[in-house]
Structure 1
């Protein structure tokens, strides 16, 4: 829907359009907490501290290191959501507030998806 809206919208001409609806900017831990509430039980979780993760990266071969680097930036730096949208870009849910997007919570609550 957002893509179709941008076709004839001069506000999006030569701009990057980000899809970052505010209710869906969640950490992995927050997604797990939603899931736990919906299934009515607490899952066993373990955490790896940043320093331990970085230390373990030193012993990996190049191929694994590349993947681990991406994981580090996503899970520890939050680079997928932890940035400002600057000039030359727009955020879709702000540009088109009339479009109702599905939140992570709504999606997980949908009975057509298994939550066990």
Structure 2
């Protein structure tokens, strides 16, 4: 498994965006979110589980995600998280901000690079 190449500050700054984006596709339990971030992010986007769950609880308190206990027929009880209507609104706003932000950073990098 690759070591994370991103600073913890950078990871924290986009954590809400990443979690809300994952949950817009389907409800997920915490470990599934953890694994999906790592797999889809090519092993570069990783949180410790002890970091992920407080983020989920904060998003739930904010009303951006909702949690419901689910017991599969052959498994153990798990808390499933889903994005709320407010969460979808926030996600849309954050995606617009993210695109403007990365466009601006990329423009500066391009203008000021030695290439």
TM-score normalised per structure 1: 0.23
Q: Which has the larger radius of gyration?
A: 1
Whose RCO is larger (CA < 8 A, sep 6+)?
1
TM-score normalised per structure 2: 0.23
Q: Which has the higher helix share?
A: 2
